[in-house]
Amino acid sequence: MLYTSHLIFTIILSLFTGISNEKTPEKPNILFILVDDLGCDDMGFSGSKYYETPHTDSLAKKGTIFTRGYSASSVCSPSRASILTGTWPTVHGITDYLYAKTGEAWSKTGRHTKLLPPPYQLSIDANLTTIAQVLHHNGYKTVMAGKWHLGKESENASPTDKGFDVNIGGSESGGPYSGGYFSPFNNEKLIDRPQEQGMSYAMKLVKELGLFIEQNKNTPFFAYLSFYEVHAPIQTSESKWKKYRDKSDQQGIHDVGFDTSHFFPTRKYQDNPVYAGLIEQMDDAVGVILQKLKELKLDKNTIVVFTGDNGGVNSGDDYSTAPLHYRGGKGMQWEGGTRVPLVVYVPWLKQVPTSDTPVSGIDFFPTLLHLTLNDRYHIRQKLNGTNISPLLKGQAIKDRALYWHYPHYSNQGSQPASYVVKDNWKLIYYYEDKHEELYNLDTDPFENNNVAQTNTKERVRLRKILFNWLNETCASSPVPDKNYIPEALAQWKQEINTKQLKKLEAHRKEILKIKWKPNENWWKSKVISNDN
């Protein structure tokens, strides 16, 4: 009888313990980690056997990995604005990276394209409420550390104009162009200290962010940690370069590293030791900030989100990485352009390890407000996102379509397109010639088999869904360039796929040589001027 009573007591106690573990703490903290240009397959937990990311992998083991996590755009500024406002790029109006050229100015860039990209917003409109503003009004300390790229301070579009109490290192710049990835950074929003000479950008950001959190540890905080990594120009230390150069050697160095199946040469393999070192630098910093939360006894009271702003760069720019399971990369209309690593960890929830439900960057706003039980304080806009927290516990959310609209030409070689994913089907509409591509992502995730001509029923259904959305959100469209000369475009493409391909292959083989030496300042790849 005594044993029975004890057993009943134990069961009741365990039930109450389970309930308390699921109870949301009052005003829990949020650490939102956003990595720039991180490919969907660039993490250990997402399948890479070349890049090493032990700290983020450990986070992924505790949280839920979203295997179909999408960014709201294939380039950075639109995606970032969608995260902060919970709206589609067609709604907030930032449809391209700041400050890409449009109209007649684009015509003068020498790309010889058939269409002229439309104008777009250069900052988050004052009529849109950011999640930082909502949390600030709910008593949170809000801090933005790292890349901003959503407007200029001189135009009242800095982080502190959009709900953040503190701005650590954020400006209108899209990359670490002023000083690179090692101190001194020459960033007016960061203090360069002599004792930090040679410190990586990621480590500098988490060091400053850690100080902010420690100073505000008794106040709920929203920390938006937006790494400049792994955007070009890519750089790493000599030791990390050597580690991954040797790893490339062990895995076998391919004779040919690029193909020309699309507009620009495209990287075929994950074998860039400089990029691999840069990823590890980012992961090291993730480990430091997570350890800081633990030291301050805040780890059990802090939601952690880890994701990327768009696909990895495998054409254009620095040709850094290659997707393992999908087609394309940053700036492209295929899955590799918008699939991103995504982990959400809520310490007090019993979470499922993975979810294969499609989710988008627009979903963070409503989800984080739900998880923190915060009021929707004067949100001016209708949120396009969905609360995806049920997925963390293995439950379902309402079926829906996800949309993308990129009426521009990317630095990676894509042309203007809109696309929709619904019921595992994906339709891409191209503005140049109005042709369409239709893929079954269940059976063809690499988008090799275009069935637009053989599955008319599905193509017509998705086209209607897509164009209804484009009309409802007043999406802008490109217009014909009256100066378009097809022969000029053909000649330019031929030069790209001959001269540039030779340079890329030569550079790839050069950085894999045992005695490779970069420029005189830092271990890094070729510096570029693209600000995206």
pLDDT at 163 > cutoff 90: yes
Banded model confidence at residue 521, pLDDT cuts 50, 70, 90? low
The gap between the terminal CA atoms of the chain, to the nearest Å, is: 72
User: What DSSP string describes 328-381?
Assistant: --TT-SSHHHHB--EEEE-TTS---SEE-S-EEGGGHHHHHHHHTT---TT--S
Q: How many domains does the chain have?
A: 1
Q: Name the residue range of residue 194's domain.
A: 28-105+115-391+486-511
% the chain with pLDDT above 90: 82
Separation between Cα atoms, residue 496 and residue 69, nearest integer Å: 32
Please report whether residue 144 resides in a domain: yes
Q: How many CB atoms lie within 10 A of CB 445?
A: 17
Separation between Cα atoms, residue 413 and residue 264, nearest integer Å: 6
Please report whether residue 222 resides in a domain: yes
Banded model confidence at residue 529, pLDDT cuts 50, 70, 90? very low
What is the b/e burial string over 14-53, where b = at least 16 CB atoms within 10 angstroms of the residue's CB?
eeeeeeeeeeeeebbbbbbbbbbbbbbbbbbbbbbebbbb
Please report whether residue 532 resides in a domain: no
pLDDT at 19 > cutoff 90: no
pLDDT digits (tens, 9 = 90+) for 423-443: 999 999 999 999 999 999 999
Q: Are 209 and 145 in contact (CB under 8 A)?
A: yes
> What DSSP element (H or E) covers 304?
strand 302-308
pLDDT at 14 > cutoff 60: no
Separation between Cα atoms, residue 423 and residue 68, nearest integer Å: 13
Mean pLDDT calculated for residue range 297-318: 95
Banded model confidence at residue 522, pLDDT cuts 50, 70, 90? low
Q: How many CB atoms lie within 10 A of CB 83?
A: 27
Mean pLDDT calculated for residue range 270-292: 98
Nearest to 204, CA basis, from 282, 295, 143 = 282
Residue with the larger pLDDT of the pair 530 and 348: 348
CATH classification at residue 76: 3.40.720.10
Q: Tell which phi-psi region holds residue 284, choosing left (phi > 0), alpha (psi between -120 and 50) or beta.
A: alpha
Mean pLDDT calculated for residue range 285-293: 99
For the ranges 321-325, 417-421, 515-519, 520-524, which has the lowest average pLDDT? Answer: 520-524
pLDDT at 312 > cutoff 50: yes
Banded model confidence at residue 526, pLDDT cuts 50, 70, 90? very low
pLDDT of residue 520: 61
Banded model confidence at residue 18, pLDDT cuts 50, 70, 90? very low
Separation between Cα atoms, residue 89 and residue 338, nearest integer Å: 13
pLDDT of residue 377: 73
**Six token digits for residue 367:** 């989800």
Banded model confidence at residue 500, pLDDT cuts 50, 70, 90? confident
For the ranges 13-27, 271-285, 402-416, 490-504, which has the lowest average pLDDT? Answer: 13-27
Q: How many CB atoms lie within 10 A of CB 238?
A: 12
**Six token digits for residue 305:** 């989100």
Please report whether residue 126 resides in a domain: yes
Residue with the larger pLDDT of the pair 415 and 261: 415
**Six token digits for residue 349:** 């929830």
Please report whether residue 516 resides in a domain: no
pLDDT of residue 304: 99
pLDDT of residue 24: 83
The pTM is what? 0.94
**Six token digits for residue 256:** 């040919």
pLDDT of residue 316: 83
Which amino acid, 282? M
pLDDT digits (tens, 9 = 90+) for 38-67: 999 999 999 999 999 999 999 999 999 999
pLDDT digits (tens, 9 = 90+) for 186-233: 899 999 898 888 899 999 999 999 999 999 999 999 999 999 999 998
Please report whether residue 405 resides in a domain: no
Please report whether residue 448 resides in a domain: no
Q: Are 228 and 281 in contact (CB under 8 A)?
A: no
CA distances from 223 to 203, 304, 526 (A): 15, 10, 32
